[in-house]
Amino acid sequence: MPQKKRQIPVIDLFAGPGGLGEGFSSLFRNSRRLFDIKLSIEKDENAHRTLELRSFYRQFNPDKVPKDYYSLLKSKSLKEREVLKDKLFTNYSDEAKIAEKEAWHAELGGDNFPNNKVDSRISQALNGSKEWVLIGGPPCQAYSLVGRSRVGGIDEQDHRVFLYQEYLRIIAKHHPSIFVMENVKGLLSAKIEDKKIFPKILEDLRRPSQIFPDLNSPDYQIYSLVKEEVKDGRDYLIKSEKYGVPQKRHRVILLGVRSDIVNKPKTLVPWKEFTSLESVIGKLPKVRSGLNRRFVRSEVLKSGKIRRVYEKVIDSNENWEETINSFKSEAFYKYSGLNGEFKLLKSPIDDMGAEYVKCPKSISKDHVLKDWYLDKRLDGVSNHQSRSHLIQDLKRYLFASSFALEYNSFPRMADYHNEVFNLLPDHKNVNSGKFTDRFRVQMPDIPATTITSHISKDGHYFIHYDPEQCRSLTVREAARVQTFPDNYLFMGSRTQQFHQVGNAVPPYLAKQIAEIVEQLLS
């Protein structure tokens, strides 16, 4: 049955797949959640479906989650998953209705979702509560360093630049006790008309009534979660790897406290040691990469455009082994720095994984995050299927992971060119200097680099360190890096799953932030 009483209501804006919400809802006292996610708003259809399913999970105490939910986690295909989800929501219709009401598929700032409609849903969800928490991160692509480099800077006409004002308006209208707002590191340096916008955002958040004078908003104190005294914008930057997350994810996170709350928040406590990538993905089932197609040649068309010609490749275990073995020339191994013969494992790399793969011991029994990741009712992991790659890219992956194994560093683009063989991509900008780290191996003994939504397009920045698997990371491996528990299921196609994971806030970091918020309110 749904839990009847929870302490602190939470509204989650721009929720993505629910990383922030997961962290807050993971705090328990006397078998009850300290925070109750009352409403999650997300415009992406598949992220919304992930939110909805996770909301359903939260309607039960962890030890009372129905067996049908685990049958869904263990589904063997995307088609079967959809059938089992419908069955689950039918069999537990009361809990499903709560989940469907909580996870709202809506676009803040969109024409179909005017302010009065949004305000009505928030008021209904809060049901008169005066003490509550607002969390979320307005879309960050407009501020990201990568995005700005592509377009030559901030585009003032990009509506995403001012979506933080949707967040701000809800603060001004509904007066949360606390708010937590997350965004990319690039927000600190972003400029419009040569003026930095971060100081303006801070000032708006401190005094929402300056932007919305008719809403009678209280003022807010803005705190850093890592520095007691703030000297400049960089003091709001949280480096996730310092707090147990196996990923060098650096994000601006602001803690806003309503002016009538006199308590001062504590700061996050850094861990003594980093959590390495290998410690969280090294015991997951080994899976091989898939074979997609082979690049044949480039052709210059009459229009001057270049057309690349490919041929399909039959994907099978035998073809994969033959393809990988064909790369093992003496020159290749001499250049990559490896001595001796490279031996492929015959087992257990016999397939590309699946939507569910059995693996009862997928993390070390003494790992500090073992209880966070694992669920005793699961004997494996979901979302663990590798993607297919271009044959030439597989050769680059094998070279890069072999190089990294020998030199403890991934090769730069210049390393892919050699007199004996050439691994350079057929790309006009390959020698421009802009893609020196185009193929990045994730090193095993340190935290991974930032998992981004770009992982949904290709895996070049997220090459697995194990040459025997010769592939990019799976969704579950990326989710482990982001600290999503294994019983967190991502809906949609594999590409859509990757996109959700890349856009999320690490739940384990969010949990530590939630602890600070709870102490502040108590």
The DSSP secondary structure of 270-309, one letter per residue, reads --SSPPPHHHHHTTSPP-PPEE-EEEEEEEE-TTS-EEEE
Q: Which pLDDT tens digit goes with each residue over 425-437?
A: 665 555 545 555 6
CA distances to 107, 135, 155 from 159, rounded to whole Å, are: 12, 21, 9
Distance CA 122, CA 111 (A): 18
pLDDT for 147 beyond 80: no
Q: Which residues are paired to 133 by β-bridges?
A: 10, 178
Q: Which pLDDT tens digit goes with each residue over 468-502?
A: 888 999 999 999 999 999 999 999 999 999 999 99
Biggest CA pair distance of the chain: 74
Average pLDDT, the chain: 87
Other Cβ atoms less than 10 A from the Cβ of 160: the count is 15
Q: What is the mean pLDDT of residues 311-327?
A: 86
pLDDT for 390 beyond 50: yes
Q: Which pLDDT tens digit goes with each residue over 440-464?
A: 899 999 999 998 887 877 778 899 9
pLDDT for 506 beyond 90: yes
* Token pair 């302010």 in the structure block, residue: 115
Strand, coil or helix: what is 390? coil
DSSP letter at 376 equals T
> Is the distance from CB of 69 to CB of 57 less than 8 angstroms?
yes
Q: What is the mean pLDDT of residues 272-295?
A: 93
Distance CA 104, CA 391 (A): 42
Task: Supply 39's token pair.
Answer: 């409403």
> Is the distance from CB of 481 to CB of 505 less than 8 angstroms?
no
- Structural domains for the chain: 8-271+505-521 (3.40.50.150), 286-358+387-473 (no CATH)
Strand, coil or helix: what is 54? helix
pLDDT score recorded for residue 155: 47
> Is the distance from CB of 236 to CB of 254 less than 8 angstroms?
yes
Per-residue pLDDT band at 143 (split at 50, 70, 90)? very low
pLDDT score recorded for residue 190: 85
Distance CA 75, CA 377 (A): 15
CA distances to 160, 227, 350, 356 from 254, rounded to whole Å, are: 19, 11, 47, 37
pLDDT score recorded for residue 31: 87
Per-residue pLDDT band at 271 (split at 50, 70, 90)? very high
- CA 134 to mean position of chain CA atoms: 20
pLDDT for 344 beyond 60: no
Q: Which pLDDT tens digit goes with each residue over 191-240?
A: 877 888 899 999 999 999 999 999 999 999 999 999 999 999 999 999 99
